[in-house]
Structure 1
């Protein structure tokens, strides 16, 4: 009788707890709306950002047995402020570019998704990992996050009217839907997303990001991971989705995580929509908003990986922003890659050009003359591979030391002139130049520059080209051991200095 009475007392409590659990689950976990994918009618030429088009994004898809298809992505998505408040829901039409193995047996179960850059619809993540993705059987989906040209474009708001006019003159023709329509009107005329600079701000200025960006990304992941007949990847067994977002669009995914969308938006069976996040070449908060380095709602069991070039790390050094420690719970990794520039010639998007030293009167400055285009894609591909192992095998990614700081200055080796610490590619382990950043040189370029060693310095340091080349091979072996170079990429990595430099 006493036991029955106790159960009678507990039963309402248990029922209340269960009800609270259900309410909590419904409040914080929901399935996004399912979007619709519609094949884009052919217009007689390849899509914008196509891997079949000659340029920085070209790949021999046929060689790897891949096909490329473009779709309109349509749906209704929330319009969210930079502070995380949903003001309304609105329809949208954007586009996605799909690359997948023609033979489903070649698919490895993982899709990499990436928003295209504002500037020239560039797919920086694709450029940095395409050979790896194609070799390993990934599917890739790039998608557009853009708006119609606003009366005052917040992408170009500057301290002075002259600076704003200069930016518009440099980049105005390669941004927004107008750029896409000028490129191919028949194909991109239908595109449209909600934009309202009065009600959506970031910091003290209009928000330059499309308010529906988070919802579009989540709905795309839902569509791809559902494995339904309406998916652009129908016939492939999608198991995992990774974000690979670079440059300014990385802020979208920082916001997504920071505002708890990973926990809020789920698959119908409660699995996460996204299984890992890689972002790069972006100092979060640089375009306004909060300057944070780890999302305040960092999820458990999902890697959050950020890759800094020398420019981003130098930004944080100068601003006195310390990077968080690497942790395995939550799964956080930051990589400061020395000898990696913010932008290379190899990274430019369609119709995208940048000024060189000679264009701005710095052609005679020895610190501004030589760009560096070292193959940073090999380091990024190795990091993506290690992130994949962390997800599939539970094998943690390597921990890299931070670049050494001396107050608000990055410490440089007095002998080599290069940064100390950080991820050190073979061309930094065995240098043939001093790799600089624009913050230090004042060259006024988006590109970073280097100062090659003279013949005398190379001779004093290595003696001969053969000695230098052997040391470079040894450095490659160390990078493989550390997890920053894949063995299959090592053979194609040649020493930076050449015999004639000696």
Structure 2
């Protein structure tokens, strides 16, 4: 039974309601003395302005209940190791102020173990235009954040809250050394947001789509493969979650799968439980070049209908995201908490980071996922990136061949990848489960541009605009991002064709 605790009143739901968290209560409205950690509406930030202009509100809630710790039995099946572990986690809820603007879709996002970061920055443009609601839930920490050396502030999601604001977050309760409850907590949240008496009371929720990036993308894959999607259902048997977008993660490297709990080793890369399990709702995987280079195992086949509706998209010219959506709120709030100025990031590389925006391709993927789950309209298919023995195959301009083709690569002014070693820029190195590949924008020579575009700037812009229009027609880009990319191309053209 779900009980909603708000202010001094306790509302008990009907006995027919599905199981879920024991209580959920609204946190106090923030003020100067009690800020929300990673507040998407932090006063004075572009995020706050975007929410206000779109007619959205942001709220923080505390969700409490009991959850089980899951593990593997001797046969490798998922079972319950310990029952009834109490927890209190926090939710960030972003919704239209006017229920009439609500699209019916909720974007459900598990928070990353590092600082509890949410995916709102990459989703915000899409969600605010469409009228979607967003719910982010803290799902614990991981081995890397638990072993991280001490710094200015804790980086572990379960510790940063109390460090930042011990009074506001006194209620947060998470097992100190155990994250095996995260699967039940996430399912509790999925049930809660479909409730008529939860944080989205008054909104008619028709669909819940879950998305995650990096660790949280791997979390969603593990949630599916471990049987939690199939196990936790609505009373009528329908799924709690109607579609998944798994971002910058793949099952064939170590960090592409999440340990079932904090004391059981992760599954080896060759374990047959890692490849995607076919389920009754669509799944889209969206990878950058960084993940694709090690994602060379036989992949889940693209399929249009359930069970097993699936797409795998790989985007060249990007590395584990785009670098264009870095949110400085955490740096600003840590500095404020310590009474120090925010530390400026110093980058001595003479070449800028890639200008290809993963969030733009993600927005189109979300739109395709919505059409797929709502109207059974299957999304387009894309070829894989081309690799031979782990080495990307490149075109005459030095850009990787295959995948979804950004206009910046098909009508190029630059090569995308590691900068020359002599430049002093970061070079490829080992990472957690996959290599870390810097993705700089290295301009092509004037001679090469003259060969590619005999008509100069006008020739380039005509061809670039046509490539963008083709991406929109193919459902790879949405119109607002297309307009922004055309405008940016004109700035780059002024520099390239002087």
TM-score normalised to structure 2 length: 0.79
Alignment partner of 2:392: what SS? coil
Contact 1:35–1:219 (CA<8 Å) still a contact in 2?
no
Displacement of 1:279: 1.2
Aligned to 2:301: 325
Answer yes or no: is 1:269 the counterpart of 2:269: no
Answer yes or no: is 1:462 the counterpart of 2:441: no
Structure 1 residue ranges without an equivalent (≥5): 1-29, 148-152, 158-163, 198-209
Structure possessing the higher radius of gyration over alpha carbons:
1
Contact 1:354–1:446 (CA<8 Å) still a contact in 2?
no
| Distance of 1:269 and 1:233 partners within structure 2 | 21
For residues 34-58 of structure 1, give each alpha carbon's deviation from its aligned partner in whole angstroms, at most 9, with x where no partner exists.
Answer: 4421011234244222221256855
Alignment partner of 1:173: what SS? coil
Alignment partner of 1:236: what SS? coil
Aligned to 2:383: 401
Contact 2:427–2:438 (CA<8 Å) still a contact in 1?
no
Answer yes or no: is 1:385 the counterpart of 2:379: no
Aligned to 2:58: 68
Aligned to 1:94: 89
Displacement of 1:115: 1.2
Displacement of 1:489: 3.0
| Distance of 1:280 and 1:216 partners within structure 2 | 21
Select which of 143, 160, 172 maps to 1:154.
143
Alignment partner of 1:351: what SS? helix
| Distance of 1:348 and 1:334 partners within structure 2 | 27
Contact 2:154–2:163 (CA<8 Å) still a contact in 1?
no
Pair 195,268 (structure 1): closer, same or farther in 2 beyond 3 Å: farther
Aligned to 1:442: 427
For residues 140-166 of structure 1, give each alpha carbon's deviation from its aligned partner in whole angstroms, at most 9, with x where no partner exists.
Answer: 00111225xxxxx72158xxxxxx7xx
Pair 428,405 (structure 1): closer, same or farther in 2 beyond 3 Å: same
Select which of 96, 107, 118 maps to 2:102.
107
Alignment partner of 1:185: what SS? coil
Alignment partner of 1:483: what SS? coil
Pair 383,481 (structure 1): closer, same or farther in 2 beyond 3 Å: same
Structure 2 residue ranges without an equivalent (≥5): 1-16, 256-265, 332-342, 430-435
Aligned to 2:39: 50
| Distance of 1:435 and 1:171 partners within structure 2 | 34
Pair 487,350 (structure 1): closer, same or farther in 2 beyond 3 Å: closer
Displacement of 1:179: 1.7
Select which of 464, 469, 474 maps to 2:466.
474
Answer yes or no: is 1:286 the counterpart of 2:254: yes
Pair 376,399 (structure 1): closer, same or farther in 2 beyond 3 Å: same
Aligned to 1:213: 182
| Distance of 1:278 and 1:234 partners within structure 2 | 25
Displacement of 1:328: 2.0
Aligned to 2:117: 122
Alignment partner of 2:59: what SS? strand
Alignment partner of 1:333: what SS? strand
- Bigger shift: 91-100 or 323-332? 323-332
Contact 1:279–1:307 (CA<8 Å) still a contact in 2?
yes
More helix by share: 1
Aligned to 2:318: 340
Contact 2:290–2:437 (CA<8 Å) still a contact in 1?
no
Displacement of 1:500: 2.1
| Distance of 1:96 and 1:42 partners within structure 2 | 14
- Bigger shift: 113-122 or 396-405? 113-122
| Distance of 2:169 and 2:161 partners within structure 1 | 6
| Distance of 1:168 and 1:354 partners within structure 2 | 21
For residues 317-374 of structure 1, give each alpha carbon's deviation from its aligned partner in whole angstroms, at most 9, with x where no partner exists.
Answer: xxx423322112410111101122314152346435897664xxxx4xx7xx431243
Aligned to 1:308: 287
Aligned to 1:202: none
Pair 72,313 (structure 1): closer, same or farther in 2 beyond 3 Å: same
Aligned length: 431
Aligned to 2:476: 484
| Distance of 1:142 and 1:342 partners within structure 2 | 21
| Distance of 2:126 and 2:48 partners within structure 1 | 14
The equivalences for 1:248-263 within 5 A come to 248-263=215-230
Pair 63,355 (structure 1): closer, same or farther in 2 beyond 3 Å: closer
Pair 452,56 (structure 1): closer, same or farther in 2 beyond 3 Å: farther
| Distance of 1:72 and 1:52 partners within structure 2 | 18
Pair 293,462 (structure 1): closer, same or farther in 2 beyond 3 Å: farther
Alignment partner of 1:431: what SS? coil
| Distance of 2:384 and 2:177 partners within structure 1 | 40
Displacement of 1:111: 0.5
| Distance of 1:59 and 1:336 partners within structure 2 | 33
Displacement of 1:87: 1.0
Aligned to 1:237: 204
Aligned to 1:39: 26
RMSD across aligned positions (CA): 2.8
| Distance of 1:127 and 1:396 partners within structure 2 | 26
Aligned to 2:433: none
Contact 1:98–1:141 (CA<8 Å) still a contact in 2?
yes
